[in-house]
Amino acid sequence: MFKNMGMDVNDMASMASMASSMGNIPGLKAALGGGKMNLGAMQASLERNMESAKKIEQMKKRIEYKKAEALKQQAYKEEKQREREANHVELNEEELEELIFSIEGSEQASKTSRFPDKSSKQQNANGGKKKKKKGKK
């Protein structure tokens, strides 16, 4: 019978594998077996598959965007590094000392107390005496 239709054994095997893969769709198994086809279940399954495919596409787009941003950032860092290397000047010891002293100044910094105003204010306000703490009543 299949020879009259132009089909051979390989075509039959491919049809069998296709029918078995279609068995995963709810409602189609009953239709192939001769029962009533559940269109609502098939529609819901197809919608779930479409939503998951959309989510996968969005994730792929996000990954591509992040890769492109990472490449841009890397190129920016490399460009900045090349600029720094081009502007880099080696200094000998004398030039380095001159640079440091020009930044710091030639004067030696004088030491000061950490809280000079606080201690003098307390002494002046209390007449040089400390306050006594009140106890609980």
Pick the closest to residue 15 from 27, 50, 5, 41 (CA basis): 5
Residue 70, domain member (yes or no): yes
Residue 78, domain member (yes or no): yes
Q: How many domains does the chain have?
A: 1
- pLDDT at position 46 is 94
CA–CA gap between residue 80 and residue 71 (Å, rounded)? 14
Q: Mind listing the pLDDT tens digit of every residue in the chain (137 residues)?
A: 455 556 565 665 676 666 666 666 665 665 566 667 788 888 999 999 999 999 999 999 999 999 999 999 999 999 999 998 888 878 788 888 888 878 876 566 566 667 666 555 555 555 666 777 777 66
Kindly state the tokens that stand for 40: 């609502």
- pLDDT at position 15 is 66
Residue 67, domain member (yes or no): yes
CA distances 55 to 51, 62, 76, 106, 126, Å, are 6, 11, 31, 66, 74
Residue 30, domain member (yes or no): no
- pLDDT at position 89 is 78
Residue 32, domain member (yes or no): no
pTM check: above 0.75: no
Task: Determine the distance from the C-alpha atom of residue 91 to the mean position of all C-alpha atoms in its chain, rounded to a whole number.
Answer: 41
Residue 87, domain member (yes or no): yes
CA–CA gap between residue 101 and residue 19 (Å, rounded)? 86
Structural domain harbouring 84: 54-102
Residue 37, domain member (yes or no): no
